Amino acid sequence: MAEPILRVENLTKYFQTPRGQLHAVDGVSFSIDKGKTLGIVGESGCGKSTTGRLILKLIDATKGNIYFDGKDITKYSVSQMRSLRCDMQMIFQDPFSSLDPRQSVMQLISEPIIEHKLIKGKEAIEKRTLELMDIVGLARRYVNTYPHELDGGRRQRIGVARALAVNPKLIVCDEPVSALDVSIQAQILNLLKNLQKEYGLTYVFITHNLAVVKYFSDDIAVMYLGQMVEKAPSDLIFTRPLHPYTKALLEAVPVPIVGKNRPIRKLIRGEITSPVNLPDECRFCSRCDYLVDACKTHDPQLAEVEPNHFVACARIHSVDDINITKTRPEN
């Protein structure tokens, strides 16, 4: 089997704050094969955006290892990373603040090409910039306009073009459509999917929107308070969620169905707890309805409970047949 293009082991990031040690990302491990999409899902404070930035080494990890294309890049210096920047790129969330307001579309898209000296000659660079605009569906007539003159959808296309300009292998998409209207979201998602097919791109797709991640990802990882609590192929996550948080998350999504087919939802209680100075127990236990004794005594780790399906839950780990977990405790 071919080496996965990205492999991450025990990736950890702690921040020192006046209140104590903040566990932003805690022991996250996963791998992605070339041409696939891993969706990372979670709510605010779960660490998914930080994970995205750790992968690209925009933030330095506290612990753990990152392997890109077989190479251990964990300790790479800034200059060593420079050439890798052409292989790993990022699409940012906010189309309103991720583009320098003083640069025109031409300058924004050609900047990475010029910086990495990928093409020589002003004319050739401009030609390539226009080609990229075509690829992302941005009308050529906007080439000399500025971000503040364009709407969110078009700005996001500029962001995609910038990422593509260096011919990357891996793109981390940090909530790329969350700030866009529904109909524009669909346009950008289709674009990203087509680009993946055309160029064999690998995506790490970070989002809080479960509907989008289901549509887009091959595998899905669910994060809560810095930890990965469940990881499985996309279909399994939706048909057989095992972790109580995953279940709660799925049930919480408002479904646009009216009438008999409307699913009944059970809501999660409480609020997210503090990521600072964590005790040695399951981080979800204060909101969980399925507690067993082990939950309060140690912090469960991600383990494979059936082929390709990983869960971090003491209760799940303790049962012999995970099928019995489908029923609620009251039944």
Partner 1 sequence: MAKTVENPETVEKSRTLFQETWRRLLKNKGAIIGMVFLVVLVVAAILSGFIFDYDTDVIGQDIKNRLQWPSKEHIFGTDELGRDIFTRILYGARYSLAIGCGSVAIGLVIGVILGSLAGFYGGVVDQIVMRVNDILYAIPNIMIAVVIVSLLGTSTFNLLLALCVSASTSFVRIARASVMTIRGQEYVESAYAMGLPTWKVIMKHIIPNCLSPIIVQVTLLIGTTIISASSLSFLGIGVPSPAPEWGAMLSSGRSQIRNASYICVIPGLAIMFTVLALNLLGDGLRDALDPKLKK
Partner 2 sequence: MAEQNLLELQDLKVEYDTDAGIVYAVNGISFTIAKKKTLGLVGETGAGKTTTALSILNLVPDPPGRITAGKVILEGKNVLEMTTEELEKMRGNDVAMIFQDPMTALNPVMTVGEQIAESVLLHNEVSEEEALVRAKEMLKMVGIDEGRATDYPHQFSGGMRQRVVIAIALACHPKLLIADEPTTALDVTIQAQVLALIKQLITSRDMSMLLITHDLGVVAEVCDDVAVMYSGQIVEIGTADDVFNHMLHPYTEGLFNSLPNLKERGEELQPIKGMMPNPMEKIVGCSFAPRCPYATERCGSEIPVLHNMSATHRVACHRYDGKEMKENG
Interface with partner 1 by CB under 8 A: which residues?
A: 56, 58, 78, 81-82, 85-86, 89-90, 92-94, 97-102, 104, 111-112, 115-116, 123, 126-127, 130, 139-146, 148-149, 159, 162, 166
- Residue nearer to partner 1 on the CB measure, 81 or 291: 81
Min separation Cβ 210 and partner 1, Å: 24
- Residue nearer to partner 1 on the CB measure, 149 or 235: 149
| Residue range at the interface with partner 2 (CB under 8 A); choices 11-19, 65-73, 82-90, 213-221 | 213-221
Min separation Cβ 98 and partner 1, Å: 4
DSSP codes joined into one string, 248-316: HHHHHSPP---STTPPP--PPPS-----BS--SS-TTGGG-SS--GGGGTS----EEEETTEEE--HHH
Q: Is 203 helix (H, G, I), strand (E, B) or coil?
A: strand
- Alpha carbon distance, N-terminus to C-terminus of the chain: 43
The C-alpha atoms of residue 21 and residue 18 are separated, in whole angstroms, by 8
For residue 196, give the amino acid letter.
Q
Min separation Cβ 188 and partner 1, Å: 17
Min separation Cβ 286 and partner 1, Å: 32
Chain-centroid distance, C-alpha 139: 29
63 binds, among partner 2, partner 1, none (CB under 5 to 8 A by kind): none
Number of neighbouring beta carbons within 10 Å of residue 152? 17
Chain-centroid distance, C-alpha 192: 14
Min separation Cβ 64 and partner 1, Å: 20
- Residue nearer to partner 2 on the CB measure, 92 or 245: 245
| Burial call 208-233: b when 16+ CB within 10 Å, e when fewer | bbbebbbebbbbbbbbbbbbbbbbbe
Min separation Cβ 265 and partner 2, Å: 7
DSSP codes joined into one string, 41-56: E--TTSSHHHHHHHHT
Q: Per rule CB under 8 A, is residue 212 in the interface with partner 2?
A: yes
Selected from 234, 236, 237, 243, the binder of partner 2 by CB under 8 A is 234
Helices 105-115 and 152-164, axial angle in degrees (round to 10): 20
Q: Per rule CB under 8 A, is residue 284 in the interface with partner 2?
A: no
Read off the DSSP letter of residue 93: S
Q: Per rule CB under 8 A, is residue 78 in the interface with partner 2?
A: no
146 binds, among partner 2, partner 1, none (CB under 5 to 8 A by kind): partner 1
What's the full length of the chain, in residues?
331
- The residues of the shown chain that bind partner 2, judged by CB under 8 A, are 43-44, 151, 153, 181-187, 189-190, 193, 208, 210-212, 214-216, 234-235, 248-249, 251-259, 262, 265, 267-269, 271-272
